[in-house]
Amino acid sequence: MIILGLDPGLGTTGWGVIRADGNRLSHVANGQIRTDPSMQLPRRLSHLFGALGEVIRTERPDSAAAEEVLGNTNAQSTLKLGQARGVVLLSAATAGLAIGEYHPSVVKKAVVGTGGADKRQIQAMVGHLLPGVKLAGPDAADALAVAITHAHHLASAHARARRTGVGA
Amino acid 52: pLDDT: 98
Strands 63-67 vs 98-102: parallel, antiparallel or unpaired: parallel
Bind-site residues for Mg(2+):
7, 67, 139
Range of the domain at 108: 2-164
Amino acid 5: pLDDT: 98
Domains in the chain, number? 1
pTM of the model: 0.92
Give the CA angle between residues 115, 122, 63 to the nearest 5°.
90
The residues assigned a catalytic role are 7, 67, 139
Over residues 79-107, the pLDDT tens digits come to: 999 999 999 999 999 999 999 999 999 99
Residue that wins the pLDDT comparison between 38 and 163: 38
CATH number, domain containing residue 58 = 3.30.420.10
Mean pLDDT of 40-67: 98
Give the CA angle between residues 150, 2, 93 to the nearest 5°.
70
Residue that wins the pLDDT comparison between 160 and 51: 51
7 and 55 in contact (C-beta within 8 Å)? Answer: no
Up-side HSE of residue 11: CA atoms within 13 Å toward CB? 5
